[in-house]
Structures are given as C-alpha cells and as structure tokens.
Amino acid sequence: MLTDWARLLKPGGRLLFTDPTVITGPLTNAEIAGRSSSGFYLFVPLDYDERIITQCGLQLVVCEDRTTNTAEIAERRAKARESRSAGLRKIESDAAYENQQRFLSVAAQLAREGRLSRYVFVAEKA
C-alpha cells in the first residue's frame, strides 16, 4: 500500500496515515482475536511502519503516539452504544451488538494498558 502511495505522490507530496495495531506489549491470542473481530488487521511490531516508510523511498516527517485517544474514543463509543442498546439490538441482532461491545472493550483495554498502540505518521516524497 505504501509503495503505491509513494509512486503516486509528486516530489514534496505528503501523506498521512494511522496504524491502530502497533504491538507495544504482550498480547494473548484471545485479545488479538477480539481486537481483530471486525475485519482484517495486520498487527505490526514497534518501528515497522518507520522501516516500511523508508523502504518505500519516503521520508518520515511526523510520528505521533495517539494511543490515549484510541482508548478514550473506544470507551465513549461503547458507553454511547450501551445507552442505546435496545434499539441497536433490534437493528444489529443481539450477537452483533455483543461482538461490537466486546471489540470496543478490548480495544480500550489494550490501548489503556499500552499493549496495542495507535500511531499517526506523516511521510514526504523527496
């Protein structure tokens, strides 16, 4: 993906992306399953994105840890959904509602504990 973005950028062009699945602590297989239950995720070690940015011929301009924000948003979203649980259960089904709540709970816990982090990157084409 970054290779394609780098190819499309003009010299001096910048791109911004976030990676919400940077492993920054120990994770169990159940936590990984819970955190990836809503789709495809590629869990990467710390510094992976920086290496890939460089390998694609881009220069890293900004790397910012936004993990705290991830925990706060997941917690607020779960509470908002909980306050509307009756309506959401009718729309989504009980199982889908519970799966989404579990996903948000795991995402918040792992971020709060600093074991799975979100980073924002800005890279520039030379």
Write down the pTM of the prediction. 0.88
Model confidence over 105-122: pLDDT tens digits?
999 999 999 999 999 999
123: Cα separation from own chain's centroid? 18
Hey, what domains does the chain have and what are their CATH numbers? 2-125 (3.40.50.150)
DSSP string, 49-101: HHHHHHHTTEEEEEEEE-HHHHHHHHHHHHHHHHHTHHHHHHHH-HHHHHHHH
Model confidence over 31-60: pLDDT tens digits?
999 999 888 999 999 999 999 999 999 999
HSE-up of 70 (CA within 13 Å, CB side)? Answer: 28
pLDDT at 79 over 90: yes
